[in-house]
Amino acid sequence: MRVALVSEHASPLATLGGVDAGGQNVHVAALATALARHHGLEVVVHTRRERPDAPRRVPMAPGVVVDHVDAGPARPIPKDELVPHMDEFAARLRSEWVAEPPDVVHSHFWMSGRASLEAARGLGLPVAHTFHALGVVKRRHQGRSDTSPPGRIGIERDISRRVDRVIATCSDELFELVRLGADRRRLTVIPCGVDLELFRPDGQAAPRRAGRPRLLCLGRLVERKGVAVAIAALAEVPGAELLVAGGPDERELGSDPEARRLWALAERHGVSDRVRLLGRVARPEVPALVRSADAVVCVPWYEPFGIVPLEAMACGVPVVTAAVGGMIDTVVDGVTGVHVPPRRPRRLAEALRALLADPERAAGLGAAGAVRARERYGWARVAAATLSVYAQLAGVRARGGKGVPA
């Protein structure tokens, strides 16, 4: 089976940590690799060219090729400014698929969905789609700060009704899609996964200061990720340090607006001596950093899925998460971690104090998390579930109909 993954702004080859480089990049890269490694699929990942010197096609892993599609200027462009280039992106995809059609197209993010539907029009190609984030949720939580292009919500509604299958990553997203008007019979929930070879309980831990509890936030430096909530909570967690990994390189943090805001907030709360912004941490170094923490804190305002809690669980480290999005599914409150309400520093502080005061309970949560991650969220398992969707869609195509899955 030949599969085309379309990820217009989130290249699987991108360096993680930037404003537009995070969970979707990890998801697309890991899914493509697992589909090829465990199931023998031929996978092409189509993403927009951001560098003029990038080769058109780059082998990423055995059976996986990244295709750099010319659409707009070959330079980084914020994803919210990419819409004017999506017609060109779609036209180039269509030209390629006419010449060499895949068996299934799987688009990622709403602009890729729009481009893929246009590119596949009239070609008889089944299209599956994963949103990764929904405009209606972003608008609800960010209000006037939402930078999404006009029309995003309407386009997402149209995509959800036109594609052959929507693959939601959590139950919360499924409910949002139903409210958008998606046909429940065309919805499937398949979670994101975690690299169980990289993230595991055994292995080295990063150095740490003896006698000082360590909390860790990991992810992009954007306001909605809730690092400010963790800093405010730290003021009520005496003695603990908070490490924040993500964003630009450490030497560039001084010019990053969010980093400057977080430093100012730490000063205001009197915890600047206990907050360390590390900047971007190389992917291979992340597991050791996670294993060095007493708890990983992940308290965004909202979260389409949330890969970081899975990575912490796979390392056997307890997680304290906001009860939002996919983390409601992945983190079992009181079993593999602790849920707290979003944007409530005092409640977060209470949960952290209780966890740090009970090392035996924390160890139990971490051990249970490692088991849950291993049993449910390995990429081989996620790829197998995704392949079952592809096989059904390809079978429908072969029979010459569109059909509605049971």
Reported as a single tens digit per residue, the pLDDT across 165-200 is 999 999 999 999 999 999 999 999 999 999 999 999
Q: Check: CB of residue 115 under 8 Å from CB of residue 93.
A: yes
Tokens of 273: 């001596």
Looking only at the bridges linking them, the beta strands covering 57-61 and 64-69 are antiparallel
Q: Higher pLDDT residue, 26 or 206?
A: 206
Round to whole Å and give the CA distance between 361 and 219: 26
pLDDT on residue 305? 86
Round to whole Å and give the CA distance between 172 and 78: 27
- Residue 306 confidence (pLDDT) above 90: no
pLDDT on residue 203? 92
Question: In 3-state terms, what secondary structure has residue 368?
Answer: helix
Round to whole Å and give the CA distance between 49 and 100: 20
- Stretch 6-10: mean pLDDT: 95
Quick check: do 2-193+379-399 and 214-376 share a fold?
yes
Which one is the CATH code of 2-193+379-399: 3.90.650.10, 3.40.50.2000, 3.30.70.260, 3.40.50.1220?
3.40.50.2000
pLDDT on residue 405? 38
Q: Indicate the domain borders of the chain.
A: 2-193+379-399, 214-376
- Residue 19 confidence (pLDDT) above 70: no
108: which residues sit within 8 A by CB, 6+ positions away?
5, 6, 7, 10, 24, 27, 28, 129, 130, 132
pLDDT on residue 21? 52
Question: In 3-state terms, what secondary structure has residue 107?
Answer: strand
- Residue 90 confidence (pLDDT) above 70: yes
- Residue 140 confidence (pLDDT) above 60: yes
Fold of 214-376: Rossmann fold (3.40.50)
- Per-residue model confidence as pLDDT tens digits over 52-75: 999 999 999 999 999 999 999 999
pLDDT on residue 177? 96
- Stretch 383-400: mean pLDDT: 83
Per cent of the chain over pLDDT 70 is 95
- Per-residue model confidence as pLDDT tens digits over 336-366: 999 999 999 999 999 999 999 999 999 999 9
Work out the burial of residue 375: count CB atoms within 10 Å of its CB; fewer than 13 is exposed, 13-18 middle, 19 or more buried: exposed
pTM, 2 dp: 0.88
Q: Please report which confidence band the pLDDT of residue 297 belongs to, taking 50, 70 and 90 as the band edges.
A: very high
**Taken in order 172, 110, 15, 190, is the CA torsion positive or negative?**
positive
H-only helix segments in 146-282: 152-162, 171-180, 227-234, 257-268
- Residue 400 confidence (pLDDT) above 70: no
pLDDT on residue 106? 98
pLDDT on residue 143? 85
Question: In 3-state terms, what secondary structure has residue 159?
Answer: helix
